[in-house]
Structure formats: structure tokens, C-alpha cells
A and B are shown apart, each in its own frame.
Chain A
Amino acid sequence: NAGVMQNPRHLVRRRGQEARLRCSPMKGHSHVYWYRQLPEEGLKFMVYLQKENIIDESGMPKERFSAEFPKEGPSILRIQQVVRGDSAAYFCASSPPGGSGTDTQYFGPGTRLTVL
């Protein structure tokens, strides 16, 4: 009964390096969402993907951030040339296909990114 899996759980990068965060949705789920939680803040929506499609990336910073959900394999959130302000917890959530839009999103344990 595997839930949403994220790895790594902790990631340390130096300024200017790339960060790759991976998310495997729950079995049978084909909708993936990424959220970011800055310290002392609530979670903020970044992007919504279905297999091979970006549905809504309105919460993604315009530069350095990208996301994909390939036909095979996990969803990837990629941050290029990281800066200290990217330090945060990044959560992935998934929901089943063909939903009405109110389907519950199930969250993974998150990846805590620290930029030195």
C-alpha cells in the first residue's frame, strides 16, 4: 500500500548547482501536483501535471524551475542554479485520473532542500 513517494528526503546543494526532486504518485494516480513550503509559511501551489502534459504551471517561478511527468518513471521537479531563497520543503501530491476536480490530493513526505 505504497503512498506518494518522494526522494531524496533531504538534499543539500551549493549555490549555482542543480537540484532534482523526484516524485512517484500513488498506484493508479495519474495527476501530480508540486507545492513549496517556505519556512513559517503554508504550502504554495507550483505546478499540476498529467502524464506527459503540464496542465497548470502558474505557480512556478518564471526562471530556473521546470517540471515534467514522463510516460514512464517519476515526476521530476528541476531547479537550476539554485539560490539560498530556494531552500524550502517541496511536497508532491497525487490524485486519481478522470477526477471531478475535488478529488483528494494525497501528499508525499516532502523533500527538504537546503542551499548553502
Chain B
Amino acid sequence: DQQVKQNSPSLSVQEGRISILNCDYTNSMFDYFLWYKKYPAEGPTFLISISSIKDKNEDGRFTVFLNKSAKHLSLHIVPSQPGDSAVYFCAASGDSGGSNYKLTFGKGTLLTVNP
């Protein structure tokens, strides 16, 4: 039973354009959401997060949008750069009796940004 779903295994965009990565979740107890980026042979690197009390959080070229009613979040990267090419994982937490340490990850989306 996958509680965090990233339905697009891969996404290809042109340099300079917008990349939109999507994530859906099923557990209504989740209240904190994160995006991690992962290069081959490395561990995940934290990118950006959002609490359920917000619907948008922005950090430079990265913006995360949260739609709680739809149980959907998305990561926008503008403008996309070749160095953004990596696997992006959506993660959620909050179903551990109020604690947010237990992250539940999606399967990831491979983003390729073409020069």
C-alpha cells in the first residue's frame, strides 16, 4: 500500500523551461512534506519542505505547492538547468503520533534537463 505516489517515473524538459514534478498522498495524517534530490551513487539531498498549514513555499528557483483537499503537491523548478538532472523524491511525515521523524517516500521521478 503506497501512501506517497509519484506517478511519473521520468520527465524530460528543455533548459530554461519549467519543470513540474507531481506527488499524491493517501494518508490524511501526513502534515509535513519534503522534496529530496538524488544523484547516482549519492544519498538524497534535502531541497525544500512545506507544512500543511501553508499552500506554497518558495526557495530560489524551487517552489512547492500543496493542495490538501486533493492530497496533492508539486515541485516547480524555474528555470530548469542541466545540473538539476537527478531523481526527485517526494516524502511525507506526521503519522507517527504527532512526530515527524518517520519519512514516507515516493518511488521518485527522474528529471532530465536537456541543454
- A98 at the A/B interface (Cβ < 8 Å)? no
Count of B interface residues, CB-CB < 8 Å: 27
Known: A40-B107, A41-B107, A42-B106. A48 touches B101 (CB 8 A): yes
Interface majority SS (helix, strand, loop, mixed), chain B: strand
Residues of A contacting B45 in the complex (Cβ-Cβ under 8 angstroms) = 107
Least CB distance from A74 to B in Å reads 16
The 6 A-B pairs at the shortest CB distance, nearest first, are namely: A107-B43, A42-B105, A101-B100, A43-B105, A101-B99, A42-B107
- A25 at the A/B interface (Cβ < 8 Å)? no
Chain A residues proximal to chain B, CB less than 8 Å: 4, 6, 31, 33, 35, 40-45, 48, 55-56, 58-59, 91, 93, 95, 100-102, 104-110
A-B contact count (CB 8 A): 63
**A104 x B46 contact (CB < 8 A):** yes
Q: List 9 A-B contacts (CB under 8 A).
A: A4-B43, A40-B107, A42-B4, A91-B43, A101-B101, A102-B32, A102-B93, A102-B100, A109-B43
**B101 x A43 contact (CB < 8 A):** no
Known: A91-B43, A91-B44, A110-B43. A105 touches B103 (CB 8 A): yes
**A101 x B98 contact (CB < 8 A):** yes
Residues of A contacting B44 in the complex (Cβ-Cβ under 8 angstroms) = 43, 91, 107
